[in-house]
Amino acid sequence: MSGATAAFPTAPLSRRRFLGIAAAAAGVALMPGLLRAAPLPAGIPVRVWRGTALGADAMLQIAHPDPAEADRLIALSLAEVARLEKVFSLYRPDSALVRLNRDGMLDRPPADLVRLLSEAVAFGRRSGGAFDVTVQPLWQLYAGHFGRPGADPAGPPEAAVQATRRLVDYRAVEVDAGRIAFARRGMAVTLNGIAQGYITDRVTERLIAEGLGQVLVDLGEIRAVGRHPAGRPWTVGLKDPSDETRLTATLEIADRAVATSAGSGTSFDPAGRFAHLLDPASGHSAADWLSVSVLAADATTADALSTALSIVPADRAAAILNGLPGVGARLTRRDGTVLSLPA
């Protein structure tokens, strides 16, 4: 379970990457059996939907006096998720992203792919390359290595890691409204570190455009619109990455977004030594932090920055956040101690 609910003051928030997006199609339809009204002592009732979106548990909470209209808005939200899944999926053979990675270029790309890749390149610059959507060849190298029987537990040969790392460079992605292209043969993009936030924002914007002012959207990242109808902020909890039955902290948010990255979310090897958070500069798994949570005005920013900060040491993390007003981070070291930024 993840996110927050109207019925419970605090519920776990977990980090779920975009890796399982192909499984979303079966679960993205509106499931009336999972809808329920959550009446509150004061304020508008909250309609709660729980189901599967983007291949993972998801939740929508919509404050609306008309349950039928709330259900329509939930269906509208899930249709938006399905539309964007057709653009960003790494596994659907007809997705725009798969075609880009296959051919190394894409003419007349969907506007959402242009927008998201443009934002991704900007976050690459902002983070000094810590956030880099072109790490997909490294991901494929590690996944392929550990997917073979009898794989060396020490990981891929260092020569292979360094040869693959030369394909990783966000600056070598040309993004234009009419064309997206890679400057080097063999490059590929993954949107695992930003797409869930982007989709969360697009769904939130659709609901705001429908006139809603009190919403909590949890599609792997969380974004709150307004305050809970009971008059308090929306409340979410942060899971302990080493023990998912525990919460390490709770956050109260209104008109804010939260994203969490943790290497424990996906490991390539059974021992958990090689995780999906890969450092573009070294080609190896990031090692400094157990988990990183970022609070920002929108989920795209929170998502991208939680990924970037997971890769870098404390001094670089502070430098990345410098000059970003209203953005805060909670970085948990492997010994369990916590660094809060800004300090």
Closest by Cα among 188, 189, 197, 190 to 54 = 197
Return d(Cα 187, Cα 273) in angstroms, integer.
25
Return d(Cα 119, Cα 117) in angstroms, integer.
5
Tell me: is residue 193 an annotated ligand-binding position: yes
Return d(Cα 67, Cα 333) in angstroms, integer.
44
Return d(Cα 60, Cα 113) in angstroms, integer.
24
Return d(Cα 241, Cα 262) in angstroms, integer.
7
Beta bridge partner(s), residue 19: none
Q: Spell out the alpha helix ranges (H) of the chain.
A: 24-27, 67-88, 96-103, 111-126, 136-146, 158-165, 195-209, 299-311, 314-321
Token pair for 223: 């974004």
Tell me: is residue 303 an annotated ligand-binding position: yes
Binding residues: 193, 303, 307
Binding residues for Mg(2+): 193, 303, 307
